[in-house]
Amino acid sequence: MNKKTESRKEEIVRVAAKLFKEKGYSAVTMRDLAAAMGIKAASLYNHINSKQEILQLIVIAIANEFTSEMKSIQSSNDSCINKLHKIIQLHVKLSSQNSYGMACLNNDWMHLEDQLDHYKTLRTDYENDFRKILEEGINTGEIIHVKPEIMMFSILTTLRSLYVWIPKKDDINLQELSNTLSEILIKGINK
Amino acid sequence: MNKKTESRKEEIVRVAAKLFKEKGYSAVTMRDLAAAMGIKAASLYNHINSKQEILQLIVIAIANEFTSEMKSIQSSNDSCINKLHKIIQLHVKLSSQNSYGMACLNNDWMHLEDQLDHYKTLRTDYENDFRKILEEGINTGEIIHVKPEIMMFSILTTLRSLYVWIPKKDDINLQELSNTLSEILIKGINK
DNA sequence: GTCTATATTTTGATAGAC
DNA sequence: GTCTATCAAAATATAGAC
């Protein structure tokens, strides 16, 4: 969204995500957030109902994006290896678009209250879809036969940590990063 | 250390690490910790000086272990690939020995106060040593020629996230886990 | 839409009895 | 070594003026 059309509420959520990434949800106070916005804490409540609402807006929006895109990848006719390439591209895209939000998703989801169960469901579904792609690749012979659980863990934790690393390297072309990651994660590093 | 010889202070640190893993340092109160110990919050202060001291004891101890072991690996005569195998084993070992502490190290280091700079130095040194091993492997032709930074990121984030995953899978033989991880991280998953 | 003022709860930490 | 009682600071959130 264009910054000129960004609402005050959206601005609060964006600034909050940045602070949450640096110190974590619990360690950021409404006064910290207000100071970063250049207003007083009480003024925040004219736009949002609670600190908890901010966290929900950040986390659930991204989780829904992952869910939606995974369903699209899953229903395509690509080979398993190509589905994995697409998943890698998805994580690179969302991590570069919103590295602050990705940090919240990864580190602060457990501080969700009402939406905690909903988030857990989305996350488990995503992992199940990922695992199914690996299992199918093993069955068709595209992928080596090691425990899909360990393979998924290895790949997914790398992708989930991209937010730590992408903002430091914004000079790198994102397509190149996706390609290099695909090479490392899928082909390995052994010569 | 044997539980029978575990001091009350060590017990507090151990229980705190478990709570910190679940909710993060900032979200755990001294009252939470006291309740988990079966005593009142005020009683904790007979054994420790502050909440901050607990965090320091958890994080710095593990960081020192990583530093010490990395120096040992670095000074060995192993090939670069074998040095990587040893690093993987090191992370599996420390993550299985103390998954709660590893979670703190990864998620709560930024809440260190006096020891923050010291921790950052240890972490940067570790990453530099790791990168040097990869660069040497590229030079000698043992390892494919991709940016060592991306390769290190990919491997290290997987290893740093082991704590999430190991306690769920304690039925898995740790040597087998090290071997499978080595296979995935070094040889890749492509057939 | 932001402010001041304030209510209410929670926090880390201390003092002193037992 | 643990307790009760308590402090001082900091937290989320609300009310009402401008």
A43: Cβ under 7 Å from strand C? yes
Check if the beta carbon of residue A5 is closer than 8 Å to that of residue A27.
Answer: no
A32-36, A120-124, A172-176: segment of lowest average pLDDT? A172-176
Proportion of chain A above pLDDT 70, given as a percent: 95
Give me the count of residues in chain B: 191
Q: How far is the C-alpha of B121 from the C-alpha of A177, rounded, in Å?
A: 27
Per domain, the residue ranges of chain B are 52-187
B38: contact with A, CB 8 A cutoff: no
A119-123, B67-71, B168-172: segment of lowest average pLDDT? B168-172
Residues 23-42 of B with CB under 7 A from strand D: 34, 39-42
Beta partners for A190?
A: B143
Mean pLDDT computed over every residue of chain B: 94
Residue B95 has pLDDT above 60, yes or no: yes
Residue A104 has pLDDT above 70, yes or no: yes
How much is the average pLDDT of A73-86? 97
Residue B2 has pLDDT above 60, yes or no: no
pLDDT at res. A182: 94
Q: pLDDT confidence of B54, banded at 50, 70, 90?
A: very high
Out of B24, B146, B165, the one facing A183 most closely (by C-beta) is: B146
Residues of B in contact with A190 (CB under 8 A): 81, 143-144, 186-188
CA angle (A169, A171, A174) in 5-degree steps: 80
Class of domain B52-187: mainly alpha
Residues of A in contact with B177 (CB under 8 A): 150
Residue B154 to residue A24, Cβ atoms within 8 A: no
Q: pLDDT confidence of B170, banded at 50, 70, 90?
A: low
Question: Residue B63 corresponds to which amino acid?
Answer: A
State which residue of chain A sits closest to B146, comparing Cα positions.
A180
State which residue of chain B sits closest to A185, comparing Cα positions.
B188
Chain A 61-90, residues with CB within 8 Å of chain B CB atoms: 81
The tens digit of pLDDT for each residue in A171-189 reads 678 999 999 999 999 987 7
pLDDT at res. A2: 56
B151: contact with A, CB 8 A cutoff: yes
Q: How far is the C-alpha of B140 from the C-alpha of B113, rounded, in Å?
A: 42
Q: How far is B47 from chain A (nearest CA, A)?
A: 25
Cα dihedral: A27, A30, A33, A35 (round 10): -120
B116: contact with A, CB 8 A cutoff: no
pTM of the entire predicted model: 0.95
pLDDT at res. B129: 98
Q: What secondary structure letter does DSSP report for B190?
A: B
pLDDT at res. A1: 55
Residue B107 has pLDDT above 70, yes or no: yes
Q: What are phi and psi of B2, to 5 degrees?
A: -65, 140
Residue A135 has pLDDT above 80, yes or no: yes
Q: Which CATH superfamily is domain A51-187 in?
A: Tetracycline Repressor, domain 2 (1.10.357.10)
Residue B152 has pLDDT above 60, yes or no: yes
Residues of B in contact with A169 (CB under 8 A): 149
Check if the beta carbon of residue B72 is closer than 8 Å to that of residue B34.
Answer: no
The tens digit of pLDDT for each residue in A49-62 reads 999 999 999 999 99
Please report, rounded to whole angstroms, the spatial distance between the CA atom of protein residue A29 and the C1' atom of nucleotide C9. 15
Q: pLDDT confidence of A160, banded at 50, 70, 90?
A: very high
Residues of B in contact with A111 (CB under 8 A): 23-24, 27
